[in-house]
Amino acid sequence: MYLFPTHLIREIDEATVLHQGIASIDLMERAALAFTEALTERWSDLATPFVLFAGPGNNGGDALAVARLLHQRGYRSIEVVLFNPKGHLSADCQMNCDRLVPLTDIRFQMVDRQFIPPTLTNEHVVIDGLFGSGLDRPLTGGFAGVVRYINASPATVVAIDIPSGLMGEEQVESSSPAIIQADVTFTFQFPKLSFLFAENAPYVGEWQVLDIGLSEEAMAEKRTPWQMQDEESMGGLLKPRARFAHKGDFGRALLIAGSQGMAGASVLAAKAAMKSGVGLLTVHLPFCNNLVMQTAVPEVMTHIDYSETCFSEWVEAEKMQAVAVGPGLGQRPETEGALLDQIENTLCPMVVDADALNILAGHRSELGHLPKGSLITPHPGEMDRLVGRCQSGYERLMKAMELARKAQIHIVLKGAYTAIIAPNGHCWFNTTGNPGMATAGSGDVLTGVILALLAQGYDTLTAARLGVYVHGLAGDLAAKKEGEIGMTASTIVEALPYAWRMVQQLGNA
């Protein structure tokens, strides 16, 4: 599923009208019908009181059409407030207004000057149709006041396509009190990019995509760097295993991880790599962690650092297909030097995570020296240390895309919708995972998964996309077993084999 910027959405709407030989009012009716279907599935009681707030543009036209459709389905309490302060409605909004006014069972208020606020209780469902995705400036004045009134009410709020006041991509001069705080957003055809950023979650609430039949040809003609990845795109990425394969066919990997007091990070990453199909795994660690590793993960080989307590020397990786460095590494001066030497002396792809990223924040130019096919896996805080403090998720994404291009590396920007960013500017957002994965060690597990895939010969983009998807899927399986509160990184590791089996079944379907 592609995500289009708002200016292209308008073009796709126009192309749909042209290609399908329909009028724009017909497309609006189609969207309103899809919205009404989703709405009435959740609120099927015909006594549910609805209050619809409509603006003067096409989003308002959607709201007016929804009010009429609810009336046709027998809902008995419908109130509509149409704001028309300039005395001009869009053509399609005007047409839906003309269709609605004769329905005397619907309480209707046209606001040109004075707004008489309707009573809103916790039993009411408010439909937000004030403004759509074309908004390019913050709401002010009377409209900001209406938004504040709705947000202060105890009513359940459902947004049409996008919460009013929220922009489709970057929130310009954001004024949070002037953005609708929706409980549910029913969005048309594809989510908006802004839905995927953490700071917008209080406004978007739960979101659901509604298919309104936009032109496939028009969408195929438009270029967008963003898309969502789901199970439909995963099954074909997994390589089959030959009958006579042996462990050497599935790669040799080196994991550089752990320091005194941080053995657990190396153990989690190592277990995840072994449960993701790597043939042979060597873990380079300080002597103090050797017994822990040999006991916890007997399947791996260990390579002992000269230091008793930390990573202090680079490791020859000539025979390796992939190297991962970072989990539990610490940031001692000797570790800093060893990491920079490791980068300079490694030829195979590297996965750089955790403390290795924190060290590189002080040596940003070294990102461009990473071996071809390398990737980094920062969380938002680590990303900000690499590119400078970001004020929004959108700014962070843009800076990450620019870094990927300049350094010619892949970036896995972790979050609720982890972004996999390629050097060519393409970006995939992941759909698996849950809040229970916000737990210590979860990122170390992901490092191990991606390391294993690189070692098996997957190209970097595929390893990142597949690794992120399966990591999230394992988290979802762990949550089903233990719940989001009680799950740990170890339960994510234990769920990996079942996640891999599910992806394998997708490929065989």
DSSP letters of 131-197? --TT--S---HHHHHHHHHHHHSSSEEEEESS-TT--SS--TT--GGGS---SEEEEESS--GGGGS
- What pLDDT score does 507 carry? 76
* pLDDT average, residue stretch 20-44: 97
Domain 2-223 annotated CATH 3.40.50.10260: yes
Three-class secondary structure of residue 20 per DSSP: helix
Chain centre to alpha carbon of residue 376 = 17
The CA angle 208-210-215, to the nearest 5 degrees, is: 140
Q: Using pLDDT thresholds of 50, 70 and 90, give the confidence band for residue 170.
A: confident
- What pLDDT score does 137 carry? 87
Check whether 175 has a pLDDT greater than 60.
no
- What pLDDT score does 24 carry? 96
Identify residue 26 by its one-letter amino acid code. D
Is the separation of the CB atoms in 2 and 127 below 8 Å? no
Check whether 26 has a pLDDT greater than 70.
yes
Check whether 274 has a pLDDT greater than 80.
yes
For residues 211 and 359, give the distance between their C-alpha atoms in angstroms, rounded to a whole number: 46
Whose tokens are 């991606």? That residue is 450
Distances (CA, A) of 157 to 36, 204, 349: 14, 10, 48
CB atoms within 10 A of CB 362: 10
Give the model confidence (pLDDT) of 237-246 as tens digits: 999 999 999 9
* pLDDT average, residue stretch 126-144: 92
For residues 168 and 162, give the distance between their C-alpha atoms in angstroms, rounded to a whole number: 8
Q: Using pLDDT thresholds of 50, 70 and 90, give the confidence band for residue 449.
A: very high
For residues 444 and 446, give the distance between their C-alpha atoms in angstroms, rounded to a whole number: 5
- What pLDDT score does 509 carry? 66
Identify residue 441 by its one-letter amino acid code. G
- What pLDDT score does 176 carry? 60
Q: Using pLDDT thresholds of 50, 70 and 90, give the confidence band for residue 233.
A: confident
Three-class secondary structure of residue 406 per DSSP: helix
Structural tokens at position 277: 């199909």
Domain boundaries, the chain: 2-223, 231-508
Average pLDDT, the chain: 95
What is the strand order of the sheet 206-210 is part of? 107-111, 77-83, 49-54, 125-129, 156-160, 184-188, 206-210
Report DSSP state, residue 49.
E
Strands 77-83 and 49-54: what pairing? Answer: parallel
- What pLDDT score does 174 carry? 54
Check whether 172 has a pLDDT greater than 80.
no
Does this model's pTM top 0.75?
yes
Q: Is there a shared CATH topology between the 2-223 domain and the 231-508 domain?
A: no
Domain 231-508 annotated CATH 3.40.50.300: no
Report percent pLDDT > 90 for the chain: 93
* pLDDT average, residue stretch 430-452: 98
- What pLDDT score does 461 carry? 98
Q: In degrees rounded to 5, what are phi and psi of residue 223?
A: -105, 125
Three-class secondary structure of residue 164 per DSSP: coil
Is the separation of the CB atoms in 164 and 128 below 8 Å? yes
Q: In degrees rounded to 5, what are phi and psi of residue 49?
A: -85, 120
For residues 258 and 247, give the distance between their C-alpha atoms in angstroms, rounded to a whole number: 25
- What pLDDT score does 448 carry? 98
Q: Using pLDDT thresholds of 50, 70 and 90, give the confidence band for residue 200.
A: very high
